[in-house]
Amino acid sequence: MDGSSRPRPYNLSGRLRDHRREVLRFTTDLRVPFDNNQAERDIRMPKLKQKVSGCFRSVEVAHGFATIRSYLSTLRKQSVDPYQALVMTFQGNPPMPRLA
């Protein structure tokens, strides 16, 4: 019986067992988050905006919204206060995210 014909829960438990150190890395390395839902959190606001207003009025507006959200999300991950980042941006001195 090959791995693909076994029940999915069985395959999952085997992968969790085989990769135990990686799965539980957050317990020994505090830099590793407990979950990997940042991508889901990042997409939640645009989906909420789309739900409330029905849609974006144009592709350009959607791209602009995504660019601003991405910029602020990146700064937040680098411990920069988003409000202060916006204030600095409107004063003509936008903070630049660190690269890698």
- 15-35 pLDDT per residue, tens: 999 999 988 888 998 888 777
Q: Which two tokens stand for residue 57?
A: 């009025």
At residue 34, what is the residue type? F
Q: Note if the pTM is more than 0.85.
A: no
Q: Do residues 97 and 90 make contact, with C-beta atoms less than 8 angstroms apart?
A: no
Task: Give CA 83 to chain center in angstroms.
Answer: 19
Phi-psi region of 86 (alpha: psi -120 to 50; beta: other; left: phi over 0): alpha
Task: Band the pLDDT of 100: cuts 50, 70, 90.
Answer: low
Among 6-10, 55-59, 73-77, the range of highest mean pLDDT:
6-10
